[in-house]
Amino acid sequence: MVDYLIAGAVLVLAVLVLARQALRIRRGGGCGCEGGGSSCAAPRRVRRRSADASRYPHSLELRVAGMHCEGCVRRVEDALGALDGVAAEAKLPDAVIVRGSRPIDAAACERALRDAGYEVVEVRS
């Protein structure tokens, strides 16, 4: 009987730890690394467009919550770079410059970042 109680307690503890991690990522933790450490492995970089101002005359500045490591920076840049006609450059802790060949849709940028697990805190034109 005691064995079942111990096994049940271990199972409940494991579920609580996993639920806490899922909530942390959901609240804008992005990669879930919470600020660094060995779990912050950099993801593979997709093809990046040059953010040369002469090619992309329109720009937008974003403050993004949840970027903790270089892996987060790459995920943010890749999420925004997947938008048509857009190149992005992110810097820790929360700055992102988005450049576009035409006027940039801020709502589309926010959706792309939200889908990647990050939250836009501020938008500046």
Tokens, residue 94:
């929360």
pLDDT at residue 4 is higher than 70: yes
**pTM of the predicted protein model:** 0.63
CATH of range 1-125; options 3.30.70.100, 3.40.640.10, 3.40.50.300, 3.20.20.70: 3.30.70.100
pLDDT confidence tier of residue 63, bands split at 50, 70 and 90: very high
What's the burial of 45, exposed, middle or buried (CB within 10 Å: 0-12/13-18/19+)? exposed
Residue spans per domain, the chain = 1-125
* DSSP secondary structure code for residue 49 in this structure: -
